[in-house]
Amino acid sequence: MKVILLKDIKGTGRAHETIITADGYALNYLIPKKLAVSATPSAMKDALLRQKQVTDRVALDAALLAQNIASLAEARIVIKAKANEKSHLYNAIGESDIKKAVKEQINIELPENAIKLEKPIKEIGIFTIPVAVAEVFGKFSITIEAE
């Protein structure tokens, strides 16, 4: 049976894709759980339109993300943390702390797992932070200061 998937289904296909599957699987599982609809000509037109909208939105999000990462490279981000007299931090600065500082100081929301630290920062100084999301790469610097 030919159906159009409404959601991504692991091992079956992605949303808005037209697939051919067993009649029982389509009639007893996919369609009743509203995971797919029968592939009628009007449903196929709607699926193509939705797929184009999703593709356009993904392209727009990627362009906006590239612009945000470019503006992030020019920004000055300062994180204050408690440190001892040897400039070692009491608590390490991790990816979540950096993401929070970026959001608070320059109002840019970075996606999950965008910041790629090799290890947490444990001392005062200026550090270069790599950022990678899908095919967009960039770097920015942060300054860690003692409170």
Q: What is the pLDDT of residues 84-100, one digit of tens each?
A: 999 999 999 999 999 99
* Portions of the chain given CATH number 3.40.5.10: 2-63
Q: What is the pLDDT of residues 105-124, one digit of tens each?
A: 888 888 888 888 899 999 99
* Portions of the chain given CATH number 3.10.430.100: 65-146
Residue 106 CA to residue 126 CA, distance in Å, equals: 18
The reported pLDDT for the residue numbered 136 is 79
Provide the sign of the torsion angle of the four alpha carbons 38, 42, 48, 49, taken in this order: negative
CA distances 66 to 70, 107, 117, 137, Å, are 6, 15, 19, 8
What CATH fold (topology level) applies to the domain 65-146? Ribosomal Protein L9; domain 2 (3.10.430)
